[in-house]
């Protein structure tokens, strides 16, 4: 099977042209786990199949490294855009990509005939608790600065879905956070029926924040595009930042804007090809 290893701010996935590499659907979770293994496989935060689509220009079929399906990945969708343009599957610099039934629109910036950065219209943030989903006494309302008890400690969280669930927790220091311990406890907390991604965030000023993320089904990653979007929405809801913010991640920075008049979130960031190859599956 031919593959391309790509990353957005260090959030790395294995990309496969689903039109050429046909894998039975029931075998994909096991294939994904094998390919994602950083010791015995290619290594990555998961696998993304790029498929033909009748709903958009292309489909992104995304899997976490544990073989579970994921609805959306902001860093991943930028790399899909680079993949299809750089490989000549499209010559357009404004394209649409569908993932889990939701269509996103992307603007591509090119240098030397290759995509360098991508701006993604990530759509409207979902704030209604029942739609994220997060269990609360007021399922029709947003969870903004709500209490959650984890390992005997009370944290304040703001919950946002960008097509996948996020719990954003603000703190004074994220560098020394024992994320390997606390991350799984948030991910698998009983209040999240579909598990959750968790962002631990330090606000630097009105236009800059620092973020670490524990991704559902993967663990800590160097970046999370949907998490950065959810973080900025949470910052604004809590009155902590302006509407356009640079989010500093372990693997780089993303520029996030919440246009509240249109109620749309825009994400701009890089997409990078690491290497290509073939592997027996």
Does 64 lie in the same domain as 149?
no
- Do 171 and 59 fall within a single domain? no
Q: Which two tokens stand for residue 231?
A: 């973080």
Question: Are residues 144 and 258 located together in one domain of the fold?
Answer: yes
Q: What are the b/e assignments for 152-161, b being 16+ CB within 10 Å?
A: eeebebbbbb
| 43: Cβ contacts below 8 Å, ≥ 6 apart | 5, 12, 36, 37
Query: What's the chain's length in residues?
Result: 281
Q: Do 145 and 257 belong to one domain?
A: yes
CATH of the domain at 98: 3.10.310.10
Please tell me the predicted confidence (pLDDT) of residue 28: 98
pTM attached to this predicted model = 0.93
The active-site residue, picked from 73, 79, 159, 229, is 73
Number of Cβ atoms within 10 Å of the Cβ of 27: 10
pLDDT tens, the chain, 281 aa long: 999 999 999 999 999 999 999 999 999 999 999 999 999 999 999 999 999 999 999 999 999 999 999 999 999 999 999 999 999 999 999 999 999 999 999 999 999 999 999 999 999 999 999 999 999 999 999 999 999 999 999 999 999 999 999 999 999 999 999 999 999 999 999 999 999 999 999 999 999 999 999 999 999 999 999 999 999 999 999 999 999 999 999 999 999 999 999 999 999 999 999 999 999 98
Which pLDDT score is estimated for 204? 98
Residues 18, 43 within the same domain: yes
Residues 6+ apart with CB under 8 A from 22: none
Is 159 in the same domain as 240?
Answer: yes
pLDDT, residue 147, reads 98
Distance CA 250, CA 242 (A): 22
pLDDT at 193: 97
Same domain for 143 and 97: no
Assess whether 116 and 142 both reside in one domain. Answer: no
Positive or negative, the Cα torsion across 12, 203, 179, 100?
negative
Instruction: Determine the Cα–Cα distance for residues 15 and 43; give it in Å rounded to an integer.
Output: 12
Identify whether residues 63 and 155 lie together within a single domain: no
Looking at the structure, tell me whether residues 9 and 109 fall in a common domain.
yes
Do 10 and 118 lie in one domain? The reply is: yes
159 among known catalytic residues: no
What rounded mean pLDDT belongs to the chain?
A: 97
Question: How far is the C-alpha of 46 from the C-alpha of 75, rounded, in Å?
Answer: 12
Note the pLDDT of residue 129: 98
Distance CA 100, CA 102 (A): 6
- To the nearest whole percent, how much of the chain has pLDDT over 70? 100
Q: Which of 9, 79, 159, 224 is an active site residue?
A: 224
Structural domain containing residue 87: 2-122+269-278
> Is residue 117 located within the same domain as residue 139?
no
Task: Tally the domains of the chain.
Answer: 2
Token output for 225: 């595009």
Q: Is 224 a catalytic residue?
A: yes
């Amino acid at each position: 099977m031919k593959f391309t290893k790509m990353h957005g701010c260090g959030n790395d996935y294995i990309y496969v042209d689903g039109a050429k590499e046909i894998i039975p659907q029931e075998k994909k979770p096991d294939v994904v786990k094998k390919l994602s293994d950083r010791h015995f496989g290619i290594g990555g935060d998961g696998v993304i199949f790029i498929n033909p689509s009748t709903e958009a220009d292309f489909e992104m079929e995304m899997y976490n490294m544990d073989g579970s399906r994921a609805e959306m990945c902001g860093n991943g969708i930028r790399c899909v855009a680079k993949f299809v343009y750089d490989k000549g599957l499209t010559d357009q610099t404004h394209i649409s990509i569908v993932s889990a039934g939701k269509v996103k629109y992307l603007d591509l910036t090119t240098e030397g005939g290759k995509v360098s950065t991508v701006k993604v219209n990530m759509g409207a943030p979902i704030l209604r608790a029942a739609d994220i989903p997060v269990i609360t006494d007021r399922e029709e309302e947003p969870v903004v600065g709500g209490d959650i008890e984890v390992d005997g400690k009370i944290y304040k969280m703001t919950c946002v879905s960008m097509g996948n669930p996020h719990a954003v927790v603000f703190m004074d220091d994220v560098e020394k956070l024992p994320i390997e311990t606390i991350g799984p406890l948030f991910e698998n907390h009983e209040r999240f029926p579909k598990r959750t991604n968790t962002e631990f965030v330090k606000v630097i000023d009105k236009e800059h924040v620092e973020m670490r993320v524990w991704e559902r089904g993967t663990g800590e990653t160097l970046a999370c595009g949907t998490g950065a979007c959810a973080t900025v929405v949470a910052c604004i809801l809590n009155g902590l930042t302006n509407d356009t913010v640079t989010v500093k991640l372990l693997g780089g920075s993303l520029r996030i804007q919440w246009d509240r008049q249109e109620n749309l979130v825009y994400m701009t960031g890089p997409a990078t090809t690491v290497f290509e190859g073939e592997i027996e599956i």
